[in-house]
Amino acid sequence: MDRITALRLHEMMLLTRVTEERLVLLYRQGATLGSVYRSLGQEATACATALALGPEDVIAPLIRNLGSMLVRGVTPEEMFLQYLGRATGPTGGREHNNHFGSIERGLIAPTSMLGALIPVMAGVALTFKQKGEARVAMTWIGDGGSSTGAFYEGLNFAVVQNLPLIVVGESNGYAYSTPPTKQMKGRLAERNLGAFTMEVDGNDAAAVFDAASEARARCLRGEGPVFLVCETFRMKGHAEHDDQRYVDHELLESWAAKDPLSRFEAWMAEKGWPVEANLRPRLESEVSAMADRALAAPWPDSASLTQGVYAAPPRQEAR
């Protein structure tokens, strides 16, 4: 990784953290339409993987991958408007959290149904292969999500069709309150169905970037899908409403010492690549202004309730 890429990766990880911190405040003020989902401790698995792609590649994130959306050019302001359900947000108040896409930015909207994005992205990768385009598709899955049928169907299809698909497995300790040992035998990496598999320290952003770059190069060489498993830890509950009381405090402390952001800062310092001294306050102030603008944004008009929800407005039954 060169210095410019490292600086961008650092800024994206920090921007993810600052944006989520502000979202938490908005949640505590009762301003968000629902809970807030953190990726604390997992910023590297979202940002470093997405940053290893080219602009022509396509991603489909999950709830824990807000950072990958920022890498693709989504602004914190769009994220605030969405979480606040405002008319000028990406879905005009129809959806909340990070559930929105942006085809022009190569971003397929996250869906709640875990595993469902694997066959979707296998389909995207299939079109790249059929058209002979040098592009890859990437999506993410947690250890819990890997227990779904859709995960197996999608990954199996990608393997037998030799598709340019990267599935980033986030082995992060808990699925809601369920530890992996209660829903799988063995390790996440073993659920690869024959896909080329890489295992990496998910809290080492430089290592994640290198692994994702290698995965992309394999896909572009026509060597089929890659299952890139990142060993990491979910440092917050499933969402802000979950106080994570089922997680051992010492375990959390041991993972806090491996925080991906501070580790990456130490790595950059070792390289002699200093980060901007007042980067955090600058990002905080920019993000704060965006949150304020989102709070002042209009609500959707109730007359538009059915618009943008159905493909066509529902038929009005005569009563």
Ligand X SMILES: Cc1ncc(C[n+]2csc(CCOP(=O)(O)OP(=O)(O)O)c2C)c(N)n1
Contacts with 127 (C-beta within 8 Å, 6 or more apart), sequence order: 133
Pairing of strands 137-142, 226-231: unpaired
Catalytic residue among 17, 218, 238, 263: 238
Amino acid symbol at 16? T
Active site residue 64: no
C-alpha–C-alpha distance, residues 69 and 150, integer Å: 23
Catalytic residue among 3, 246, 249, 319: 246
Q: State the residues that interact with ligand X by CB under 6 A.
A: 64, 112-115, 142-145, 148, 170, 172, 174-176, 234, 238
Strand partners, 313: none
Catalytic residue among 10, 17, 72, 234: 234
Least distance from ligand X to the Cβ atom of residue 163, Å: 22
Please, are residues 202 and 232 in contact by the beta-carbon 8 Å criterion? yes
C-alpha–C-alpha distance, residues 315 and 319, integer Å: 12
Least distance from ligand X to the Cβ atom of residue 142, Å: 2
- 121 vs 291 by CB, closer to ligand X: 121
- 93 vs 110 by CB, closer to ligand X: 110
- 64 vs 135 by CB, closer to ligand X: 64
- 75 vs 179 by CB, closer to ligand X: 179
- 174 vs 227 by CB, closer to ligand X: 174
Q: How far is CA 24 from the centre of its chain?
A: 17
Least distance from ligand X to the Cβ atom of residue 73, Å: 23
Please, are residues 146 and 167 in contact by the beta-carbon 8 Å criterion? no
Active site residue 245: no
Helical segments of 257-299, H only: 260-271, 279-295
Least distance from ligand X to the Cβ atom of residue 105, Å: 23
Least distance from ligand X to the Cβ atom of residue 255, Å: 13
308 by Cβ neighbours in 10 Å (0-12 / 13-18 / 19+) ranks as middle
Least distance from ligand X to the Cβ atom of residue 312, Å: 27
- 113 vs 296 by CB, closer to ligand X: 113
Contacts with 284 (C-beta within 8 Å, 6 or more apart), sequence order: 18
Q: Where are the beta strands (DSSP E) in 53-116?
A: 58-60
Exposure string of 22-48, with b = 16+ CB inside 10 Å and e = fewer, is: bbbebbeeebbeebbbbbbbbbbbbbb
Active site residue 310: no
Catalytic positions are: 234, 238, 246
